[in-house]
Structure 1
Amino acid sequence: MSIDFNNGIWLNEPQNWKADESSLTMTTDAKTDFWRETYYGFTRDSGHFLGFAASDSFTATIRIGGEFRTLYDQAGLMVRIDDTKWVKTGVEFTDGELFLSTVITDGKSDWSVSQPFRELEDFYIRVTVNNGAMRIQASRDGKFWPLLRLAPFPIAAQYQVGPTACTPERSGLSVNFSEFSIGPAITTDLHDLS
C-alpha cells in the first residue's frame, strides 16, 4: 500500500515541491548534500529528506525518476536515526555516468557505487532493516532485485525513512518519487532476487 507523501516531515524542505497520495516531485536547492568527514574533511547535512516513521524492522521501497546530468546529482531513499547515523542510497551521477550509489554513515561516511544495470533514470530502490543489518536492493522493473549492499546498521527503536535528493554542485534537479511503501521486513534468502 502506497504512502501519502503529504504525511512526511521535511528535513531541509526544498523551495519547490508538490505531493499527493501517490507521488512527490521535488526540485533541489543549491549546493545541497549529506556527508560526514571522510576524505573531504567536511560535514554537510543540507540535503532534502522527507521522513516517515518506521519500526525497528521494516522494508521500504520507492520508485525514482529524473534526469541526472551534473556531478553528484543524486536521488534515492534515506534511512535516518540522527545526523550522525544515516544511509542514503539511489542514483548518483559521477565520472560522467549514472551509478547506483550508497553512503552509509555511522559517525563518518563511506561511499560505494555499482552498475548492476545502466538504465537509472527510472528505477526502484528497496531497503530492509532487521536485527542490525541493512539489505539494499535495486530493480529496473520492480520484480527482479539484485543486491546492491549488505551492511551493519545500528539498531534503533524507530527510524525515519523516505525520499532524498541532493545537488552538491548546482540547484534545479527535478526528481519524481512514486510507489513508496513501508512494510514488514522481507525475510527471503539473500540470493532470492524476487
Structure 2
Amino acid sequence: MDLNKFFWINEPENHSFGENALIFETEPGTDFWQRTYYGFQNDNAHACVVQADRPEFTFSVASRYSPSQLFDQAGVVIYLDSENWFKASVEYETAEISKLGSVVTNLGFSDWATADIKGGQEIQMTYRLSRRKNDFLIESAADGKTFHQMRIFHLVKADGPIQVGVYACSPLQSSFKAQFEDFRFGECVWEAYQ
C-alpha cells in the first residue's frame, strides 16, 4: 500500500515511514473521546489516515507497541470530524490485563465496548476493518491470521468518502513508540447479508 497518500491528523513530533510501515512516538495528554459519562472532549490523538472513496472495502494493518502507562493505546481509526469517528485498539491497564476495545462516536457522543485480554510488556494485534456504505465490521487477530469479530457498527455521517488509517495516543503523562506494518487495502471480504 502506498503510504505516501496518508496524511496526519494531530501529527506527532517524531515519526518515520518505511516500506509499508510506520513508526511514531505519542505525546502525553493525547486521546479521542467525546462527552459520554466522563463529560470531557478530547480530539488530539495522533492519526495517520488515507481518504477512502469506495463504498465497500477492507483495510487491515498489524500493530505493535510497548505501553508505558495506564490507557496507552494503538490501533485503527476512521475519522470524519471531531464528533464522528471510530477507533479500535488494545488499551493498556496492567502488566497482567489490558482491554481490547472499540469506540464509536456519532454526533458528538462516544461509546466504549471492551473485552479483557492478557497484558504484557509488548502488545501486538492485527486489525481488519470492512466497510459496506455506512456500516462497518471490525475484527482482530492476536496471531495476525485468525480474525474474530469485535463488533458491527454504523457511522451516521459516513455516507461518502471517509478517512481511515491508524492512531495511537497517551491520555496520561506518558509516551511510547507505536509501530504499524503490513498495511492492506482491497476488496471487501465482509460478505453481504442475504
2:165 equivalent to 1:162: yes
2:113 equivalent to 1:112: yes
Q: Give yes or no for contact 1:127–1:135 (8 Å, CA) kept in 2.
A: yes
Which residue of 8, 11, 16 maps to 2:9?
A: 11
Task: Give the AA of the match of 2:190.
Answer: T
Q: Give yes or no for contact 1:56–1:157 (8 Å, CA) kept in 2.
A: yes
How far residue 56 of structure 1 moved from its aligned partner, in angstroms, is 2.2
How far residue 153 of structure 1 moved from its aligned partner, in angstroms, is 2.1
Q: Give yes or no for contact 1:81–1:156 (8 Å, CA) kept in 2.
A: no
How far residue 84 of structure 1 moved from its aligned partner, in angstroms, is 1.1
Q: TM-score, normalized by length of structure 2?
A: 0.89
2:138 equivalent to 1:136: yes
Unaligned runs of at least 5 residues, structure 2: none
Task: Give the AA of the match of 1:138.
Answer: S
Greater Cα offset, 87-96 or 28-37? 87-96
Which residue of 46, 49, 52 maps to 1:51?
A: 49
Greater Cα offset, 32-41 or 89-98? 89-98
What are the within-5 Å matches in structure 2 for residues 20-99 of structure 1?
A: 20-54=18-52, 55-94=54-93, 97-99=97-99
Aligned pair count reads 188
Deviations 1:95-150 (A, max 9, x none): 66222110100020001111467677122011111132211100023321111111
Greater Cα offset, 61-70 or 91-100? 91-100
Whole-Å separation in 2 of the counterparts to 1:67 and 1:78: 19
Task: Give the AA of the match of 1:148.
Answer: M
The Cα RMSD (Å) is: 2.0
Matched residue of 2:140: which SS?
Answer: strand
Whole-Å separation in 2 of the counterparts to 1:125 and 1:19: 19
Greater Cα offset, 108-117 or 138-147? 108-117
Whole-Å separation in 2 of the counterparts to 1:170 and 1:177: 22
Could you say if the C-alpha distance between residues 67 and 161 of structure 1 is closer, same or farther in structure 2, counting changes exceeding 3 Å? same
Whole-Å separation in 2 of the counterparts to 1:10 and 1:144: 30
Q: TM-score, normalized by length of structure 1?
A: 0.89
Greater Cα offset, 125-134 or 42-51? 125-134
Tell me the residue number matched to 1:100. 100
TM superposition outliers: structure 1 runs of 4+ over 6 Å: 116-120
Q: Give yes or no for contact 2:34–2:40 (8 Å, CA) kept in 1.
A: yes
Task: Give the AA of the match of 2:98.
Answer: L
Could you say if the C-alpha distance between residues 153 and 116 of structure 1 is closer, same or farther in structure 2, counting changes exceeding 3 Å? farther
Deviations 1:16-49 (A, max 9, x none): 0111232111100110000100011111110000
